[in-house]
Structure 1
Amino acid sequence: MPEGKIVKALSGFYYVLHNDQLIQCRGRGVFRKNKITPLVGDEVVFQAENEQEGYILEIKDRKNELVRPPIANVDQAILVFSAVKPDFSTALLDRFLVLVEFNHIEPIICISKMDLANEEQMEMIMKYAEQYRTAGYKVMLTSSETETGIEQLIPLLENKISVFAGQSGVGKSSLLNVLRPDLDLKTNDISSHLGRGKHTTRHVELISIGNGLVADTPGFSSLDFININAEDLTACFPELLKASENCKFRGCLHIHEPKCGVKQGVESGVIPSYRYEHYVNFLQEIKDRKPRY
């Protein structure tokens, strides 16, 4: 049986890439019975009489999967956050980073719309960029308008499945249009009433850029920590994980425990206070979560 990769899902159809050919497939009823939904990024076994009438028979094991956006087997997430319009938010960025880290996806922070930042905003962004780099993250400073930073972004996409993610209005589609002008993806301005962008991407699709595949995804409508436990959270903050090696007690949650390496790191300035504050807030959110039955 032939094998391929789902590169697009739309209206109940799954488009499978096989030997540079796109086959339109439906999922077999067995998937619904077993409550398994084929996802963009899935490696699948299928059968097809022609390009229009295929059926997915088997979904290969996934190395990871996301719910919002629905995509599987992602190598890295390009987290696009604008310098302004909407304003850069470390709290929202850290929420994205936790979800990406928890799913074992490598995050790359891409700060867009740098051409719109004034001197004060530019200085603030540069400070944050350096702090996130010190924590261990790759940080790119870009502008779709001037194409600043785009050349540095392209090599990072090679031979990877990358997902472009971030709140709506930050310029994800604009960046992809610069990377591949023939896409001509629809973009919208920020809503002056809501202060955020309007959703322009309605479905998940893998787009070839160079030798890589990139997903332009609908904006995240929810960023909750459904599957993350309190004990998992430290590992989602690289600098906290490193500092936790100096904690006296195993399983330290870095709140009230004495001789805590993380709190010492915050006090000494090695760990930015806002990163620790976000950790504390997220931990409380996880503890307050209603148990699922």
Structure 2
Amino acid sequence: MPEGIIIKALSGYYYVKPLHDGVIVTEEEAVQCRGRGILKKKGTAPLVGDRIIYMLTENGEGMVDEILPRESELIRPQVANVKLAVLLFSVREPDMNLNLLDKFLVHIEHSGLDTLIVLTKQDLEEDDGQATEAVRAMYEEIGYEVMVTSSLNGLGADALRERLAGIISVFSGQSGVGKSTLLNRLVPGLALETGEISLRLGRGRHTTRHVELMDIGNGGFVADTPGFSQLDFLELGVEELSHCFREFASYADSCKFRGCSHLHEPGCKVIEAVQTGEIAGSRYEHYKTFYNEMKDKKRRY
């Protein structure tokens, strides 16, 4: 029986692109499939992004017969086998929001995905790129992959297209960063309307839309729905927060007290690293803000 990947789920149907030798056959039409009843009995529902075994039926449709093992599974949006979270933050218009960037990074660290930070609208930079380079240097030193792009002049488009090849990624980030413009630059002929894919936080039109994978070529797909859309920390325990700041790890093991919160304890090596400049002050301030926010929300709920 053939293998395929689910690119859309809607009204009980799964739309499957065939796989040949593990490679998605993008030029072939998606097959409309139903899920086999035994999957429901097992309590397993196919998700967009699932690699599956399916069989063709007489009416030209198909039946999802087996779900192959997943590499990852996101709760919001519900997508399987996402490899990369792409965080889009603009250099200007709107100005870069590092507090929000760090909040997204906490959620992605918790989810276990790889991360790519993409700084957009480089053409609007006013200080010879010094601010952008400072942000790039800080996050690269922590261990994150960072790219700088401009949809206006095409800067970074080829490198980003190559990075997204062959994997499923989700795009998230700041509102107004130019996601559709960037995707139009990556995929000529895509013709997305500017603003068509919303990146707004909280509840919005995207919360009721179905999840769909957008084919961007070279075996790459982008989940056409904002990931991590409600950043409320309710799925994250406060004791897990420090583990989501990856630069804390090498210091936290040497803290005087086990289970150190890195806020006020004597002998805290994380605080010492902040004081000596080995950990960026902005990152530590955001950690304290998130910690207190989580404590408040846990009390309320």
Q: 1:83 to 1:13 in 2, by over 3 A?
A: farther
- Which SS does the other structure have where 2:258 is aligned? coil
1:152 aligns with 2:159: yes
Q: 1:290 to 1:211 in 2, by over 3 A?
A: same
**In structure 2, which of residues 174, 188, 202 is the aligned counterpart of residue 167 of structure 1?**
174
> For residues 50 and 92 of structure 1, what CA distance do their matches in structure 2 show?
51
- Which SS does the other structure have where 2:89 is aligned? strand
Consecutive unaligned residues in structure 2, runs of 5 or more: 20-24
**In structure 1, which of residues 18, 31, 41 is the aligned counterpart of residue 49 of structure 2?**
41
* Residue range with higher mean Cα deviation, 102-111 or 4-13: 4-13
**2:57·2:63 contact (CA, 8 Å) conserved in 1?**
no
Q: 1:9 to 1:170 in 2, by over 3 A?
A: farther
> How far apart are residue 113 of structure 1 and its match?
0.9
**1:187·1:200 contact (CA, 8 Å) conserved in 2?**
no
Q: 1:147 to 1:216 in 2, by over 3 A?
A: farther
Aligned residue in 2 for 1:97: 105
> For residues 168 and 95 of structure 1, what CA distance do their matches in structure 2 show?
14
> How far apart are residue 85 of structure 1 and its match?
2.1
**1:186·1:200 contact (CA, 8 Å) conserved in 2?**
no
**1:3·1:18 contact (CA, 8 Å) conserved in 2?**
yes
> How far apart are residue 147 of structure 1 and its match?
0.5
Q: 1:181 to 1:274 in 2, by over 3 A?
A: same
**1:69·1:218 contact (CA, 8 Å) conserved in 2?**
yes
**In structure 2, which of residues 214, 222, 226 is the aligned counterpart of residue 218 of structure 1?**
226
**2:186·2:216 contact (CA, 8 Å) conserved in 1?**
no
Aligned residue in 2 for 1:137: 144
**2:118·2:147 contact (CA, 8 Å) conserved in 1?**
yes
1:247-279 Cα deviation digits (max 9, x unpaired): 223322211222111111111111111211211
**1:199·1:219 contact (CA, 8 Å) conserved in 2?**
no
Q: 1:29 to 1:49 in 2, by over 3 A?
A: closer
1:18 aligns with 2:12: no
**2:213·2:221 contact (CA, 8 Å) conserved in 1?**
no
> For residues 257 and 104 of structure 1, what CA distance do their matches in structure 2 show?
29
**In structure 1, which of residues 231, 241, 252 is the aligned counterpart of residue 249 of structure 2?**
241
**In structure 2, which of residues 284, 289, 301 is the aligned counterpart of residue 281 of structure 1?**
289
Equivalent positions of 1:41-60 (< 5 A) are 41-49=49-57, 53-60=61-68
1:271 aligns with 2:252: no
> How far apart are residue 182 of structure 1 and its match?
2.0
> For residues 292 and 8 of structure 1, what CA distance do their matches in structure 2 show?
37
> For residues 164 and 82 of structure 2, what CA distance do their matches in structure 1 show?
12
Amino acid at match of 2:135: Y
> For residues 244 and 82 of structure 1, what CA distance do their matches in structure 2 show?
32
Q: 1:130 to 1:26 in 2, by over 3 A?
A: same
Q: RMSD across aligned C-alpha pairs, in angstroms?
A: 3.1
1:127 aligns with 2:142: no
1:169-215 Cα deviation digits (max 9, x unpaired): 211221111111121122139x9xx9xxx979954314142243333
**2:107·2:228 contact (CA, 8 Å) conserved in 1?**
no
Amino acid at match of 2:189: D
Q: TM-score, normalised by structure 1?
A: 0.85
> For residues 7 and 82 of structure 1, what CA distance do their matches in structure 2 show?
29
Matched positions, count: 287
> How far apart are residue 15 of structure 1 and its match?
1.2
Q: 1:109 to 1:15 in 2, by over 3 A?
A: same
> For residues 223 and 51 of structure 1, what CA distance do their matches in structure 2 show?
44
Q: TM-score, normalised by structure 2?
A: 0.83
> For residues 288 and 51 of structure 1, what CA distance do their matches in structure 2 show?
56
> For residues 57 and 289 of structure 1, what CA distance do their matches in structure 2 show?
42
Amino acid at match of 1:175: L
